[in-house]
Amino acid sequence: MTKLVFITQQVDPGHPALAATVPKIRALARQVDEVVVLADGAVEGVLPANCRVRAFRASRKALRGARFEAALTRELIGLRGGAVVAHMCPIYAVLAAPLVRPLRIPLVLWFTHWRASPLLRAAERASTAVASVDERSFPFPSKKLRAIGHGIDVEEFPCSPPRDGPGTRLLALGRYSTAKGLDVTVAALPLAGDDVELHVHGPALSHDERAHRSELEQLVVELGLDGRVTIGDPIPRRDVPALFATADALVNNMRAGAPDKVVYEAAASCLPVLASNPIFDELLDPAQRFTRWDASALAERIRELAALSTDARAALGHRLRERVEAGHSVQSWARGILDAAGSTE
Protein backbone atom coordinates (compact mmCIF):
# COMPACT_ATOMS: atom_id res chain seq x y z
CA MET A 1 0.00 0.00 0.00
CA THR A 2 1.23 3.48 -0.81
CA LYS A 3 -0.55 5.69 1.72
CA LEU A 4 -2.71 5.26 4.80
CA VAL A 5 -4.72 8.04 6.44
CA PHE A 6 -5.14 7.27 10.15
CA ILE A 7 -7.66 9.33 12.14
CA THR A 8 -7.35 9.33 15.93
CA GLN A 9 -7.76 11.51 19.01
CA GLN A 10 -4.23 11.92 20.32
CA VAL A 11 -0.70 10.92 19.35
CA ASP A 12 0.96 11.02 22.75
CA PRO A 13 3.10 8.22 24.25
CA GLY A 14 2.49 9.69 27.70
CA HIS A 15 -1.32 9.92 27.51
CA PRO A 16 -2.95 8.03 30.43
CA ALA A 17 -5.56 6.37 28.19
CA LEU A 18 -4.39 6.67 24.56
CA ALA A 19 -0.63 6.05 24.68
CA ALA A 20 -0.97 2.62 23.04
CA THR A 21 -2.08 4.30 19.81
CA VAL A 22 1.52 5.34 19.09
CA PRO A 23 3.01 1.83 18.62
CA LYS A 24 0.03 0.93 16.45
CA ILE A 25 0.76 3.82 14.10
CA ARG A 26 4.44 2.84 14.05
CA ALA A 27 3.50 -0.73 13.11
CA LEU A 28 1.31 0.50 10.26
CA ALA A 29 4.15 2.74 9.07
CA ARG A 30 6.34 -0.33 8.64
CA GLN A 31 3.75 -1.82 6.28
CA VAL A 32 3.09 1.15 3.97
CA ASP A 33 5.01 3.90 2.22
CA GLU A 34 3.39 6.76 4.11
CA VAL A 35 1.02 7.30 7.05
CA VAL A 36 -0.79 10.60 7.44
CA VAL A 37 -2.27 11.00 10.91
CA LEU A 38 -5.23 13.30 11.42
CA ALA A 39 -5.50 13.99 15.16
CA ASP A 40 -6.99 16.41 17.62
CA GLY A 41 -3.51 16.76 19.11
CA ALA A 42 -0.05 15.23 18.76
CA VAL A 43 3.36 15.22 20.41
CA GLU A 44 6.11 15.94 17.93
CA GLY A 45 8.92 13.53 17.15
CA VAL A 46 7.31 10.27 18.32
CA LEU A 47 6.46 8.76 14.92
CA PRO A 48 8.68 7.35 12.13
CA ALA A 49 10.01 9.50 9.30
CA ASN A 50 7.34 8.27 6.88
CA CYS A 51 4.55 9.68 9.07
CA ARG A 52 3.02 13.15 8.86
CA VAL A 53 0.56 14.65 11.35
CA ARG A 54 -2.25 17.08 10.59
CA ALA A 55 -3.93 18.48 13.71
CA PHE A 56 -7.56 19.61 13.52
CA ARG A 57 -7.93 20.90 17.09
CA ALA A 58 -10.16 23.98 17.48
CA SER A 59 -11.94 25.75 20.32
CA ARG A 60 -15.40 25.21 18.82
CA LYS A 61 -16.98 21.96 17.62
CA ALA A 62 -18.09 23.34 14.26
CA LEU A 63 -14.65 24.73 13.51
CA ARG A 64 -13.03 21.47 14.54
CA GLY A 65 -15.28 19.58 12.12
CA ALA A 66 -14.48 21.99 9.32
CA ARG A 67 -10.73 21.67 9.92
CA PHE A 68 -11.08 17.88 10.00
CA GLU A 69 -12.87 17.77 6.64
CA ALA A 70 -10.42 20.22 5.06
CA ALA A 71 -7.41 18.17 6.19
CA LEU A 72 -8.94 14.91 5.00
CA THR A 73 -9.99 16.35 1.65
CA ARG A 74 -6.45 17.51 0.99
CA GLU A 75 -5.01 14.09 1.75
CA LEU A 76 -7.51 12.30 -0.49
CA ILE A 77 -6.46 14.22 -3.61
CA GLY A 78 -4.88 11.73 -5.95
CA LEU A 79 -4.95 8.93 -3.37
CA ARG A 80 -4.72 5.57 -5.14
CA GLY A 81 -3.99 2.22 -3.58
CA GLY A 82 -4.52 3.59 -0.08
CA ALA A 83 -7.07 3.50 2.71
CA VAL A 84 -8.52 5.52 5.59
CA VAL A 85 -8.71 4.18 9.16
CA ALA A 86 -10.99 5.68 11.81
CA HIS A 87 -9.55 4.76 15.20
CA MET A 88 -12.06 4.16 18.04
CA CYS A 89 -14.24 7.26 17.51
CA PRO A 90 -17.27 6.43 15.31
CA ILE A 91 -17.77 10.11 14.46
CA TYR A 92 -14.55 10.03 12.44
CA ALA A 93 -15.97 7.34 10.14
CA VAL A 94 -19.29 9.16 9.81
CA LEU A 95 -17.59 12.45 8.88
CA ALA A 96 -15.07 10.79 6.57
CA ALA A 97 -17.49 8.59 4.62
CA PRO A 98 -19.03 11.30 2.35
CA LEU A 99 -15.53 12.25 1.25
CA VAL A 100 -13.98 8.77 1.09
CA ARG A 101 -16.66 6.43 -0.22
CA PRO A 102 -17.41 8.25 -3.54
CA LEU A 103 -13.72 7.84 -4.38
CA ARG A 104 -13.97 4.08 -3.73
CA ILE A 105 -11.25 4.32 -1.08
CA PRO A 106 -11.54 1.70 1.70
CA LEU A 107 -12.70 3.10 5.05
CA VAL A 108 -11.91 0.89 8.05
CA LEU A 109 -13.39 1.50 11.50
CA TRP A 110 -11.39 0.12 14.47
CA PHE A 111 -13.64 -0.14 17.53
CA THR A 112 -13.65 -2.22 20.70
CA HIS A 113 -16.23 -1.46 23.37
CA TRP A 114 -19.50 -2.76 24.75
CA ARG A 115 -21.63 0.34 24.06
CA ALA A 116 -23.81 0.24 20.93
CA SER A 117 -24.82 3.82 20.15
CA PRO A 118 -26.81 5.14 17.18
CA LEU A 119 -23.62 6.90 16.10
CA LEU A 120 -21.70 3.60 16.08
CA ARG A 121 -24.42 1.97 13.96
CA ALA A 122 -24.15 4.84 11.50
CA ALA A 123 -20.36 4.44 11.45
CA GLU A 124 -20.67 0.71 10.77
CA ARG A 125 -22.94 1.39 7.82
CA ALA A 126 -20.62 4.10 6.51
CA SER A 127 -17.46 1.96 6.70
CA THR A 128 -16.32 -0.60 4.17
CA ALA A 129 -14.90 -2.79 6.95
CA VAL A 130 -14.89 -2.94 10.76
CA ALA A 131 -12.05 -4.34 12.86
CA SER A 132 -12.09 -5.26 16.54
CA VAL A 133 -10.19 -7.44 19.00
CA ASP A 134 -12.73 -10.26 18.84
CA GLU A 135 -16.22 -10.76 17.44
CA ARG A 136 -17.48 -10.26 21.02
CA SER A 137 -15.68 -6.93 21.47
CA PHE A 138 -17.95 -5.22 18.94
CA PRO A 139 -21.41 -4.58 20.42
CA PHE A 140 -23.63 -5.86 17.61
CA PRO A 141 -23.36 -8.33 14.72
CA SER A 142 -21.86 -7.09 11.47
CA LYS A 143 -20.93 -8.87 8.26
CA LYS A 144 -18.15 -6.29 7.89
CA LEU A 145 -16.47 -7.28 11.16
CA ARG A 146 -12.96 -8.77 11.33
CA ALA A 147 -11.38 -9.99 14.58
CA ILE A 148 -7.69 -9.03 14.48
CA GLY A 149 -6.45 -9.06 18.09
CA HIS A 150 -5.61 -6.12 20.34
CA GLY A 151 -2.26 -4.91 18.94
CA ILE A 152 0.24 -5.07 21.81
CA ASP A 153 3.83 -3.92 21.37
CA VAL A 154 5.36 -7.03 22.91
CA GLU A 155 8.85 -5.54 22.84
CA GLU A 156 7.63 -2.77 25.13
CA PHE A 157 6.74 -5.36 27.79
CA PRO A 158 9.69 -7.67 28.50
CA CYS A 159 9.05 -10.94 30.31
CA SER A 160 9.79 -10.64 34.04
CA PRO A 161 10.39 -13.59 36.40
CA PRO A 162 7.90 -14.23 39.23
CA ARG A 163 8.21 -11.81 42.12
CA ASP A 164 10.33 -13.08 45.01
CA GLY A 165 8.79 -11.92 48.27
CA PRO A 166 6.24 -12.68 51.00
CA GLY A 167 2.48 -12.47 50.58
CA THR A 168 0.52 -11.87 47.40
CA ARG A 169 0.73 -8.51 45.66
CA LEU A 170 -2.11 -7.76 43.22
CA LEU A 171 -2.31 -4.96 40.69
CA ALA A 172 -5.26 -3.30 38.93
CA LEU A 173 -4.73 -0.64 36.26
CA GLY A 174 -7.12 1.53 34.28
CA ARG A 175 -9.59 4.37 34.55
CA TYR A 176 -11.75 4.64 37.67
CA SER A 177 -14.88 3.63 35.79
CA THR A 178 -17.72 1.70 37.42
CA ALA A 179 -17.47 -0.66 34.44
CA LYS A 180 -14.13 -1.89 35.85
CA GLY A 181 -15.77 -3.64 38.82
CA LEU A 182 -13.07 -2.44 41.21
CA ASP A 183 -15.45 -2.56 44.17
CA VAL A 184 -15.68 -6.34 43.79
CA THR A 185 -11.90 -6.59 43.53
CA VAL A 186 -11.48 -4.64 46.78
CA ALA A 187 -14.19 -6.70 48.50
CA ALA A 188 -12.39 -9.94 47.59
CA LEU A 189 -9.29 -9.04 49.60
CA PRO A 190 -10.57 -9.85 53.11
CA LEU A 191 -11.77 -13.21 51.76
CA ALA A 192 -8.46 -14.04 50.09
CA GLY A 193 -6.20 -13.91 53.15
CA ASP A 194 -4.43 -11.53 55.49
CA ASP A 195 -1.25 -11.45 53.41
CA VAL A 196 -2.88 -10.21 50.18
CA GLU A 197 -2.51 -6.58 49.08
CA LEU A 198 -3.94 -4.65 46.14
CA HIS A 199 -2.52 -1.63 44.34
CA VAL A 200 -4.89 0.24 42.01
CA HIS A 201 -3.57 2.92 39.66
CA GLY A 202 -5.36 4.90 36.98
CA PRO A 203 -6.75 8.23 35.84
CA ALA A 204 -10.09 9.75 36.79
CA LEU A 205 -10.97 11.66 33.63
CA SER A 206 -14.57 12.64 34.37
CA HIS A 207 -16.80 13.68 37.26
CA ASP A 208 -18.23 10.16 37.48
CA GLU A 209 -14.78 8.61 37.60
CA ARG A 210 -13.61 10.99 40.31
CA ALA A 211 -16.72 10.17 42.31
CA HIS A 212 -16.12 6.45 41.90
CA ARG A 213 -12.53 6.79 43.08
CA SER A 214 -13.84 8.46 46.25
CA GLU A 215 -16.32 5.60 46.71
CA LEU A 216 -13.51 3.07 46.47
CA GLU A 217 -11.44 4.99 49.02
CA GLN A 218 -14.42 4.92 51.39
CA LEU A 219 -14.89 1.18 50.80
CA VAL A 220 -11.26 0.56 51.75
CA VAL A 221 -11.88 2.36 55.06
CA GLU A 222 -15.14 0.51 55.71
CA LEU A 223 -13.50 -2.89 55.16
CA GLY A 224 -10.52 -2.02 57.33
CA LEU A 225 -8.07 -2.43 54.46
CA ASP A 226 -5.89 0.60 55.11
CA GLY A 227 -2.30 -0.40 54.45
CA ARG A 228 -3.37 -3.31 52.25
CA VAL A 229 -5.11 -1.42 49.44
CA THR A 230 -3.70 1.55 47.53
CA ILE A 231 -6.08 3.69 45.47
CA GLY A 232 -3.45 5.55 43.46
CA ASP A 233 -2.90 7.92 40.59
CA PRO A 234 -2.04 6.85 37.01
CA ILE A 235 1.40 5.42 36.31
CA PRO A 236 3.33 6.81 33.32
CA ARG A 237 3.28 4.26 30.53
CA ARG A 238 7.06 4.01 30.47
CA ASP A 239 6.94 2.79 34.11
CA VAL A 240 4.25 0.13 33.62
CA PRO A 241 6.61 -2.77 32.70
CA ALA A 242 8.62 -2.16 35.89
CA LEU A 243 5.38 -2.03 37.89
CA PHE A 244 4.29 -5.39 36.45
CA ALA A 245 7.56 -6.88 37.75
CA THR A 246 6.60 -5.90 41.32
CA ALA A 247 3.30 -7.83 41.29
CA ASP A 248 2.19 -11.45 41.51
CA ALA A 249 -0.87 -10.96 39.31
CA LEU A 250 -3.01 -8.42 37.52
CA VAL A 251 -6.71 -8.46 38.42
CA ASN A 252 -9.19 -7.24 35.82
CA ASN A 253 -12.95 -7.17 36.41
CA MET A 254 -14.04 -5.18 33.35
CA ARG A 255 -17.58 -5.79 32.16
CA ALA A 256 -18.07 -8.07 29.17
CA GLY A 257 -17.61 -6.64 25.69
CA ALA A 258 -14.58 -4.43 26.29
CA PRO A 259 -11.32 -6.38 26.57
CA ASP A 260 -8.90 -4.13 28.44
CA LYS A 261 -5.56 -3.89 26.67
CA VAL A 262 -3.79 -3.94 30.06
CA VAL A 263 -4.67 -7.63 30.34
CA TYR A 264 -2.72 -8.37 27.16
CA GLU A 265 0.11 -6.07 28.26
CA ALA A 266 0.44 -7.89 31.59
CA ALA A 267 0.32 -11.23 29.80
CA ALA A 268 3.08 -10.07 27.45
CA SER A 269 5.15 -9.30 30.56
CA CYS A 270 4.65 -12.90 31.77
CA LEU A 271 2.53 -11.60 34.65
CA PRO A 272 -0.35 -13.95 35.59
CA VAL A 273 -3.80 -12.43 35.11
CA LEU A 274 -7.10 -13.03 36.87
CA ALA A 275 -10.03 -11.73 34.82
CA SER A 276 -13.81 -12.06 34.64
CA ASN A 277 -14.52 -10.99 31.05
CA PRO A 278 -15.57 -14.05 28.99
CA ILE A 279 -13.71 -12.61 26.00
CA PHE A 280 -10.44 -13.72 27.59
CA ASP A 281 -11.36 -17.41 27.31
CA GLU A 282 -8.77 -17.91 24.55
CA LEU A 283 -6.02 -16.08 26.44
CA LEU A 284 -6.57 -17.31 30.00
CA ASP A 285 -6.98 -20.80 31.41
CA PRO A 286 -10.13 -21.56 33.46
CA ALA A 287 -8.10 -21.23 36.68
CA GLN A 288 -7.44 -17.57 35.81
CA ARG A 289 -11.10 -16.62 35.24
CA PHE A 290 -13.87 -15.82 37.73
CA THR A 291 -17.50 -14.70 37.80
CA ARG A 292 -17.69 -10.93 37.60
CA TRP A 293 -19.84 -10.01 40.60
CA ASP A 294 -18.64 -12.84 42.88
CA ALA A 295 -15.97 -11.58 45.32
CA SER A 296 -15.67 -15.03 46.87
CA ALA A 297 -14.92 -16.57 43.45
CA LEU A 298 -12.15 -14.03 42.90
CA ALA A 299 -10.80 -14.68 46.39
CA GLU A 300 -10.63 -18.41 45.60
CA ARG A 301 -8.66 -17.71 42.41
CA ILE A 302 -6.26 -15.50 44.38
CA ARG A 303 -5.64 -18.28 46.92
CA GLU A 304 -5.09 -20.82 44.17
CA LEU A 305 -2.57 -18.57 42.45
CA ALA A 306 -0.76 -17.90 45.71
CA ALA A 307 -0.40 -21.67 46.22
CA LEU A 308 1.46 -22.17 42.92
CA SER A 309 5.18 -22.83 43.03
CA THR A 310 7.60 -20.34 41.52
CA ASP A 311 8.21 -22.67 38.58
CA ALA A 312 4.48 -23.07 37.96
CA ARG A 313 3.93 -19.30 37.98
CA ALA A 314 6.86 -18.82 35.61
CA ALA A 315 5.43 -21.44 33.22
CA LEU A 316 2.02 -19.76 33.36
CA GLY A 317 3.58 -16.39 32.55
CA HIS A 318 5.46 -17.76 29.55
CA ARG A 319 2.29 -19.38 28.17
CA LEU A 320 0.50 -16.05 28.39
CA ARG A 321 3.27 -14.22 26.56
CA GLU A 322 3.28 -16.83 23.79
CA ARG A 323 -0.46 -16.38 23.31
CA VAL A 324 -0.12 -12.61 23.05
CA GLU A 325 2.70 -12.97 20.53
CA ALA A 326 0.62 -15.40 18.47
CA GLY A 327 -2.64 -13.47 18.29
CA HIS A 328 -2.34 -9.96 19.71
CA SER A 329 0.96 -8.43 18.64
CA VAL A 330 1.02 -4.95 17.17
CA GLN A 331 2.52 -6.38 13.98
CA SER A 332 -0.37 -8.83 13.47
CA TRP A 333 -2.81 -6.02 14.30
CA ALA A 334 -1.34 -3.80 11.58
CA ARG A 335 -1.57 -6.62 9.04
CA GLY A 336 -5.18 -7.16 10.13
CA ILE A 337 -6.05 -3.51 9.51
CA LEU A 338 -4.53 -3.64 6.04
CA ASP A 339 -6.24 -6.94 5.30
CA ALA A 340 -9.53 -5.34 6.32
CA ALA A 341 -8.81 -2.57 3.82
CA GLY A 342 -8.11 -5.23 1.19
CA SER A 343 -4.76 -3.69 0.40
CA THR A 344 -1.95 -5.81 1.89
CA GLU A 345 0.95 -6.57 -0.37
pLDDT value, residue 117 = 96
User: Which positions ≥6 away from 124 have C-beta within 8 Å?
Assistant: 90, 109, 130, 140, 142, 144
What are the extents of the domains in the chain?
3-151+329-341, 155-327
User: Which positions ≥6 away from 226 have C-beta within 8 Å?
Assistant: 220
CATH superfamily of 3-151+329-341: Glycogen Phosphorylase B; (3.40.50.2000)
**pLDDT tens profile 194-224:** 999 999 999 999 999 999 999 999 999 999 9
155-327 matches 3-151+329-341 in CATH topology:
yes
Q: Does 155-327 carry CATH code 3.40.50.2000?
A: yes
Q: Where residue 282 falls among pLDDT bands split at 50, 70, 90? A: very high
Sign of CA dihedral 95, 40, 174, 24: positive
pTM over 0.85: yes
Q: Where residue 345 falls among pLDDT bands split at 50, 70, 90? A: very low
Q: How far apart are the first and last CA of the chain?
A: 7
- Give the DSSP letter of residue 115: -
Could you tell me which residues are beta bridge partners of residue 146? 131
- Cβ-contact 156, 23 below 8 angstroms: yes
Greatest CA span in the chain, whole angstroms? 66
In percent, the amount of the chain with pLDDT more than 90 equals 92
Edge-first strand listing for the sheet containing 249-252: 229-232, 196-201, 168-173, 249-252, 273-275
**pLDDT tens profile 106-145:** 999 999 998 999 999 999 999 999 999 999 999 999 999 9
Average pLDDT over residues 49-65: 93
Q: What is the mean pLDDT of the chain?
A: 95
**pLDDT tens profile 178-188:** 999 999 999 99
